[in-house]
Amino acid sequence: MLNGSAAQKPISAIIILAGLGLGAPVFLTGTGCDGKKTKSPALLLNVNFGGAPKTGKAAVGLSAQDYWNNHAPLPWKALSGAARLKYANGEATTIGFTVDNAGGAWGNKSGDPMYDTYIYPNNGQGDGVGQVTVTLTNLPAGEYDFFLYGHADAGGRPESNSTFSLKSGAREFGPAGTLTSNGWKATQPWEEGKQYVRFRGVRVAEGAEVVITVAGGTNGKPSKGVAVINGFQVARAGLLSGSLR
C-alpha cells in the first residue's frame, strides 16, 4: 500500500463581497424576470476523499466553517459514489459523482485533513494499477474553475504526484500535474501547480457530465507512478478573483 495513502426583463446582478474570507457568506442578489428580488449562495463545492473529516478552506474557500463532502470508498471496490452533495454553505444539491478504480485509501502527514487522505487504485486490477476516473453529474449549467489535489508522500512506494485531465462536453483540459511536495505542511501556503492543479473556465452544459481522469505522475510529468486524488473543489468562475482565498 501507499504510505503517506425568453426573459421578460433583463436580469441585473450585484455581487455582495463584504466580509469575504472572514466567515460571512457570499450572496448574489438581483432582479429576476418577475421583478422580485432573489438571493442564492455563491457556488463552491468541496469534496474530500479518504474519510478524514474536513471543514474550512483549502486553496480557496469562503470561511473556516466551509462544508466538505467526505467520501471513503469501500476497500477493494472498483466503483463507488455519492449523491445529493452539499455546497460549502451546507445547502443540499442534486449534484453527485462516481469514482471508478479507487478501492484503496492511505494518508499523508501535512496537518490538513483533506490533503492527509487520498484514494488510489486497489481492486481487481491490482494494487496501484491503472487510472482513477471521477464523473461529476448534475452540476448546474455555467462556467467553473476546478481545483484538483493529488499527492502521496513517499513511503512503501516513491512519492506520487498525480497528473489530471478533465473533459466537459467536447472541451478537454490538461494533462497537468502536481509537483514534488513531500514534507509540505498545512501551515505553509497552498501553491497552484504544486499541491493542486487548476483548470479555469470550464463550461458545463445543462445535464452534461464532467469527467476527471487521474493518472500517475512525478513532479508535474506523467509517469508510471500511482494515481492518487486527495480531493477537489469546484467554484463558479468569476466569483473568485482572489476573493475566496
* 70, 19: one domain: no
Gap between the Cα atoms of 93 and 102, Å rounded: 24
* 96, 217: one domain: yes
CA-CA distances (angstroms) from residue 41 to 15, 26, 28, 197? 11, 6, 7, 25
Residue 153 belongs to some domain of the structure: yes
Residue 244 belongs to some domain of the structure: no
pLDDT in tens, the chain (245 residues): 444 433 433 322 222 223 323 233 333 333 333 334 333 456 899 999 987 899 999 999 999 999 999 998 777 777 888 999 999 999 999 999 999 998 888 888 889 999 999 999 887 676 777 899 999 999 999 999 999 999 888 776 777 889 999 999 999 999 998 887 666 787 888 999 888 999 999 999 999 999 999 998 777 666 678 899 999 999 998 766 544 55
The C-alpha cell 496537518 sits at 111
* 183, 67: one domain: yes
Q: Show Cβ contacts of residue 32 under 8 Å, excluding neighbours closer than 6 positions.
A: 11, 38
Q: Look up the domain containing 10 and give its range.
A: 6-41
* 187, 209: one domain: yes
Q: CA quadruple 72, 63, 141, 241: dihedral positive or negative?
A: negative
Gap between the Cα atoms of 211 and 208, Å rounded: 10
Gap between the Cα atoms of 70 and 83, Å rounded: 12
pTM, entire model: 0.80
pLDDT for position 40: 41
Checking DSSP bridges between strand 69-71 and strand 44-49, what pairing results, if any?
A: parallel
Q: In sequence order, what E strands does 153-195 have?
A: 160-161, 163-168, 171-177
pLDDT for position 104: 85
* 30, 65: one domain: no
Residue 177 belongs to some domain of the structure: yes
